Structure 1
Amino acid sequence: MKYKILVLDLDGTLTNKKKEITEHTRETLIRAQEAGVKIVLASGRPTYGIMPLARQLELDKYEGYILAYNGGQIIDCKTGELMYENVLDPAVYPYLYECAKSNGFQILSYKDEYIISENADDQYVQHEAFLNRMPSKTVENFLDVINFPVAKCLIVGDPEPLAQLEPVMKKELESKMNVFRSEPFFLELVPKGIDKARCLAVLLEELGMTPDEMMACGDGFNDLSMIEYAGLGVAMANAQEVVRQAANYITLSNEEDGVAHAVEKFMLNAE
């Protein structure tokens, strides 16, 4: 088998619009793992937001991996070991907090299985909780609580004023960290150089594999680097146009078991 490692984005790729893995896709991925393929779930989600899908695919049994926070962490699912981590400099926390508070936004992060913010009922905080299938917890003071290594914060709020804040923060923090919107209402705050391909390079070196042995499937802008890096880059039919153009192959959409289709075609030799 030419491709020995399979990297999957989650939202818009592995999961359908209900944020679920279909039974056909799950069964196909189990068969691939039984044939020796290693699976990596690579997402902007926090680790706890990826764990339920990892359990569905039995990554602990088949020695798979989680790449969380768009490359901020690598977790060995068999051992639970944190293999790699890239975190924010605590010196920036007060500035991030002030940017959120002074503009009427919420800032959130992730602690254990919880999403933490000063208003768990905020509609955008609730949306992040829904996306990750994680409970949201209100804390009295955000800065007092984030006394641990933080891989990502998120400032959430109405799209138009958030779009005005983005370039201001980018300019202020350009030498220290990355600031970008993953959704019109989500402003991502992550360490400098966070990138799925860079993190995958670390993992491949650890596993003694090469990019030529890797197949990567994705749909969004944050998947572009890994699709270009992989020996076989696969874009979903619902992918952003720039991702489709960069891919070696365009599979079916996430509503049509596109991941299963690509795995059957290129890994299980169904055709």
Structure 2
Amino acid sequence: MPNQSSSVDIKLLVLDIDGTIAGVSNEIREPVIKAIRAVQAKGIQVAIATGRMYQAAVRFHQAVGSTLPLMAYQGALIQDPTTQAVYRHWTVPKALVLQLLDHFEQPELRSLLSVHFYINDQLYVREITSETKEYAVRSGIQPIAVGDLRTALATEPTKVLALSDDIDLINTLLGSLQQRYTPAELYLTKSVATFFEATNPLVSKGTAVRYLAEEHLGLKAENVMAIGDNFNDVEMIEYAGIGIAMGNAPEPVQALANWIAPDVEQDGVAAAIEEFLL
């Protein structure tokens, strides 16, 4: 694709975290930070849109020097880390959470899935499994084990997650629940191959980025460039004037993008910024 910088007017760059600006090291590499700084020096604002918990995403928001609200939990929570102002918080209806939990706790699934409830930016689990431990270390958070997750539901969760190292199991789970619930009932997605995620049906990174661009900044879709690497990034990639998929993104995600960046471990975000914005 030819360099499009002459024909576009990007004023907002939106970045996913895992698999996009942070790879195996769980840190942002220097070439990516330098490219982000160069973009900001041109007056382009930078925002983070992530499936991560808010508290697990703040350090990346600070690392990229963003002055905008942070879009966490696929955009279910949009909050400003400087003022703590909450612009949006859409939770999962309790009745649907209980239905999902019943599904996860069927005898053939219960021992295979680690179930996570995110409530008031805390992580509640039945028990600390090896998957939960690994997740907690990468996220830098402390999970709260409660035994029966129903006891934690005095407040509706921001997000429900089921994880398993069995990728086929997660795909089957997603497929069966997509048949059971319409998009008007629940937003169901995968953020990585081993994570099944459920949020309020109004939630996606696409609706979050649209809100930030249009309502908060007075911009249009054509002023936005978004970069992501997985199925939970599809809506924002489709919304943005320039939607970019990482080289490590699944093929169906790449098929929807305007441009494919190199892999996260090859500083793909820096390459995309160089191609379109510098």
Cα offset, 1:94, TM superposition: 2.4
Task: Identify the residue that residue 254 of structure 2 maps to in structure 1.
Answer: 244
SS in 1 for 2:265: coil
| 1:198 maps to 2:207 | yes
Q: 1:150 maps to what in 2? A: 157
| Structure 1 residues 80-91: aligned runs within 5 Å | 80-91=84-95
With the length of structure 2 as denominator, give the TM-score of the two structures. 0.84
| Equivalent residues of 1:115, 1:137 under 8 A apart | yes
Counterparts in 2 of 1:85 and 1:19: CA distance versus 1, 3 Å: same
Deviations 1:53-88 (A, max 9, x none): 1122232xxx22321121212222332211112211
Q: What residue in structure 2 maps to residue 260 of structure 1?
A: 270
Counterparts of 1:30-179 in structure 2, within 5 Å, are 30-59=37-66, 63-102=67-106, 103-104=109-110, 105-112=113-120, 114-120=122-128, 122-157=129-164, 159=166, 164-174=172-182, 176-179=185-188
Residues in 2 aligned to 1:250 and 1:162: alpha-carbon distance in whole angstroms: 26
Change in CA separation of 1:210 and 1:28 when aligned onto 2, cut-off 3 Å: same
Secondary structure of the corresponding residue to residue 255 of structure 1: helix
Aligned residues: 264
Partners in 2 of 1:32 and 1:197 — Cα distance?
A: 22
Rate the CA distance shift 1:2–1:178 in 2: closer, same or farther, 3 A.
closer
Distance 1:140 1:243 in 2: 37
Contact 1:93 1:143 in 2 (8 A): no
TM-aligned CA deviation for residue 246 of structure 1: 2.4
Query: Separation in 2 of the partners of 1:252 and 1:170?
Result: 31
Relative to the length of structure 1, the TM-score reads 0.86
Percent identity of equivalent pairs: 27
Q: CA RMSD in A?
A: 2.4
Superposed CA offset, 1:89-144 (max 9, x none): 11223222222233324321224564211212x12222332342322221243222
Partner of 2:236: 226
Contact 2:192 / 2:230 at 8 angstroms: preserved in 1? Answer: no
CA distance in 1 between counterparts of 2:154 and 2:30 reads 40
- The unaligned stretches of length 5 or more in structure 1 are none
Cα distance in 2 between the residues matched to 1:162 and 1:2: 39
What corresponds to 2:3 in structure 1?
none
Give the Cα–Cα distance (whole angstroms) in 1 for the partners of residues 172 and 267 of structure 2.
38
